[in-house]
Amino acid sequence: MPEAAPTSKYIGFDHLLFWVGDSKQAASYYITRFGFEPVAYSGLETGSRNVMTHVIAHPASPSSHRIIWAFQSAINPSDAKELTAWVGKHGDGVRDMAFTVSNAEAAWKRAVDNGATSILPPTEKKDENGRVVIATIKAYGEVVHSFIQRDEYKGPFLPGFGAAKPDPLTALLPKTSLVQLDHCVSNMPKGVMEPTVQTYEKWLGFRRFWSVDDSMIHTEYSSLNSIVVCDPDTEAIKTPVNEPASGKKISQIEEYLIYNAGPGVQHIALRTETILETVKGLRERGVNFIQTPDAYYDDLRKRLKAANITIKEDPTLETIQKYKILVDFEPEVGYLLQIFTEPQGERPTLFIEIIQREGHQGFGAGNFKALFEGIELEQARRGNLVDAGVMEYKAM
């Protein structure tokens, strides 16, 4: 019998690669605001002549689910034209949502054989710390997915990177506990969500995990549709794919598409097991969050009482209300606590979610209305809560 073709399994998110205007300053921002620590560096001193990369990781995340973000910028823009053009078009944002896999070549081959466009064929990289195999495909828009096979590598990040110097501020600032990258949300133009989900199924073997539509997720002004896909092996990789639905005003999805100049990663959800302490620490570090009106908590208390559910972290909801944390729940299943930051860059695009799960594996559908209303207030402040059709995303 012919030998079976090699297969690959997904292990989890490997890292997120951000393309930015200044990688040193971007990495420093997330170190000081969110509690990351520097772990690796690549630049002129390591032999990288065209691009500089600063890699950070959150110290509270375990090695099995380490939260690793890499920030890359051009040293010589004329020799890094793709990166420079990407940042000029999209602003600072996620270029590569990379996955750790057991066999990078097999994962890449499956995707390419099923229609994906190859960006980098399987490539072995080595240094004194071992070897990795990396392969990359086009995902959607100008976002890519890399497959990283690193079971034979013991270095700080990837071959060609040196260990980074510690940042003395990490010992002086309030602690935060972010233990896992929970999910990454992708925004699509209207009508593109379903085809994108189908490519995840066909190319990557992902499956549909959860979905909502505009009958559930809407305000007076805007609405969305969302399908969450996940890897078939561990369910550790989850990416909701969103699109706008018809509404009176432009939605936050449409605002994102306009300022990002197309589809991309809208927000990153970081999981914590101690959301009250972590949000307190983040606020003390200067992180600004979307505000939720007090009326939300009056209604929440009534709904929790009717469902006979107690939030063990804060039974009276006093601190939850103080910090403007949202609560979603399902009787006999559990609840989740979540909160969303304001945009983290100069454009109203990328933001961060902090989430704690207590048995509930959903994505806060019960909170979307409150979240959207909070975001709409921010849109109004920016002058972007305008009638549908006044500002439009146009494919480039």
Entry pTM: 0.93
Q: Could you report the per-residue pLDDT of 365-383, keeping only the tens digit for each?
A: 777 666 566 666 676 777 8
Whether 58 has a binding-site annotation, put simply, is no
Please say if the pLDDT value at position 338 is more than 50. Answer: yes
Whether 145 has a binding-site annotation, put simply, is no
CATH of 10-171, one of 3.10.310.40, 3.40.50.1100, 3.40.50.200, 3.10.180.10: 3.10.180.10
The answer to whether the CB of 190 falls within 8 A of the CB of 244 is: yes
Q: Could you report the per-residue pLDDT of 104-126, keeping only the tens digit for each?
A: 999 999 999 999 999 999 999 99
Q: Where in the chain is the domain with CATH 3.10.180.10?
A: 10-171, 180-381
CATH topology of domain 180-381: 2,3-Dihydroxybiphenyl 1,2-Dioxygenase; domain 1 (3.10.180)
| Mean pLDDT across the chain | 91
Q: Could you report the per-residue pLDDT of 18-50, keeping only the tens digit for each?
A: 999 999 999 999 999 999 999 999 999 999 999
**pLDDT for 396:** 42
Q: Could you report the per-residue pLDDT of 182-209, keeping only the tens digit for each?
A: 999 999 999 999 999 999 999 999 999 9
List Cβ neighbours of 193 (8 Å cut-off, separation of 6 or more): 225, 226, 227, 241, 242, 243
Whether 273 has a binding-site annotation, put simply, is no
Find, among 291, 292, 183, the residue nearest to 242 by Cα. Answer: 183
266: left (phi over 0), alpha (psi -120 to 50) or beta: alpha
Q: What's the CA gap between 331 and 308, in Å, rounded?
A: 8
Find, among 67, 61, 270, the residue nearest to 182 by Cα. Answer: 270
